[in-house]
Amino acid sequence: MQKRLAAGVCLAAGLLLASPAGAQAVIRVSSGGAFTSIGAAVRAARPRSRIIVASGTYREPTIIVDKPLEIVGEGMPVVDGEKKRAIILIRADSVAIKGLHLTRAAHSLVQDLAAIRVENAVGCVIEGNRIDDSFFGIYLAKSEGCVIRRNVIRASGRTEMSSGNGIHLWASSHNLIDSNVISGHRDGIYFEFVHNSVIRGNVSEGNIRYGLHFMYSDDCRYLGNTFRRNGSGVAVMFTHRVEMTGNRFEGNRGSAAYGLLLKEISDSRLLRNVFTRNTVGLLADGADRLLAEGNDFVDNGWAVELDASSDNARFIGNNYIGNTFDVASNSSEPSSTFSSNYWDNYRGIDLDRNGVGDIPYRPVRLFSMIVARNRPAMLLLRSTFASLLDKAEELLPVLTPSALADATPAMHRRR
């Protein structure tokens, strides 16, 4: 498999960067040509041929690609599954699918039918396609070294049962998911048993459940993505050594919504992300040895909910601005720590003018602890009662967890 992976990645890079003119046999598909269906052209093509599909609409049985080929649309031709079948099934290494408009792949409650499904393949490239109204958009199973780039994947499912995932990877590794736009699916992007892969520069918004759902997928990175207005936000679960850098988690609101849920993960990094206008920015449940550094938590209900199950998490140099509650915790003696963060509610002084407050800041409000045990108490948020609790805790800070105090609060917002 390692030799297949190396060869496939090299060929995939060549397809992306080099012109194939003169190096590949070329077959044209059009309504008036020698080949009027893509399937017929695939069956006739020699390995490593290029199939150019002219603009138009093509309705045909599921196209099975079982040899290395490049299939390229000219003028974004439509391939219509008519709600009856999967559209393209790839069972070969080094296949490229580019510039097609794939629509209406069949829905099924017993099969994971997709507009493009890749099985046991290495080095495939799926780039610049449009996928509409399909159960699953792009599905990779036991595949390696593939690139899924600059696709627009949209669906209009109303329930989790009526829609699959936009981009779905299972038991795969060393793949790149880059600069796609996904909306209207059950989960925008779904990883399960995926390793050493990168999710970069994607926009996942308006999906029914999660913008990104990530399970049992170690040593992956997601970088510079935007997850916006998804039903429950983003969930990273049962995973080790994940890097999450430069992402935006926006507008994920609802009684069970959060920007990002970290559940039973370890040794991961959360760096320079923006959490804004979420019910809960970050929910850490069993996030052991997490490093959260340089993030912005802005205008959330709860910026951070830190469960007692999280061990030795570190929050360093983050900005907390305009949140209703900066930090909530259900532990009286947490092992996690906060240091050098900027808190817009901090009212301390800096006599030596070194940019660090002279007294610690306790980010856990007493009222937030009451709300954590009894959510209907939120009705009293703007009441005199809540203000009196805050004043009492300032004068006699004994009821909120002292271990979560930031001993070196920043006087100015971190850049």
Phi and psi of 52, rounded to 5°? Answer: -105, 125
pLDDT of residue 291: 98
| 108-112, 289-293, 360-364, 401-405: range with lowest mean pLDDT | 401-405
pLDDT band at 16 (very low <50, low <70, confident <90, very high): very low
pLDDT at 389 over 80: no
pLDDT at 42 over 60: yes
Q: What is the pLDDT of residues 17-28, one digit of tens each?
A: 333 444 569 999
For the entire predicted model, the pTM comes to 0.89
pLDDT at 107 over 60: yes
pLDDT of residue 366: 62
Q: Which domains are present in the chain?
A: 1-231 (2.160.20.10)
pLDDT at 399 over 80: no
Helix, coil or strand: residue 56: coil
Element (H, E) at 401: none
Rounded to the nearest 10°, the torsion over CA 251, 158, 375, 325 is -10
**Which of 208, 297, 209, 310 is closest to 263 using CA atoms?**
310
Mean pLDDT of 119-123: 98
% of the chain beyond a pLDDT of 70: 85
Q: How far apart are the first and last CA of the chain?
A: 45
- Average pLDDT over all residues of the chain: 90
Which residue shows structure tokens 């996904």?
Answer: 182
pLDDT at 372 over 90: no
Mean pLDDT of 270-298: 97
pLDDT of residue 21: 45
Mean pLDDT of 311-318: 97
Distance in angstroms (rounded) separating the CA atoms of residues 241 and 268: 5
Q: What is the pLDDT of residues 140-184, one digit of tens each?
A: 999 999 999 999 999 987 788 778 999 999 999 999 999 999 999
pLDDT of residue 213: 97
pLDDT at 190 over 80: yes
pLDDT at 38 over 70: yes
pLDDT at 377 over 70: no
Q: Which residues contact 304 (CB under 8 A, 6 or more apart)?
A: 281, 282, 284, 297, 315, 326, 327, 328
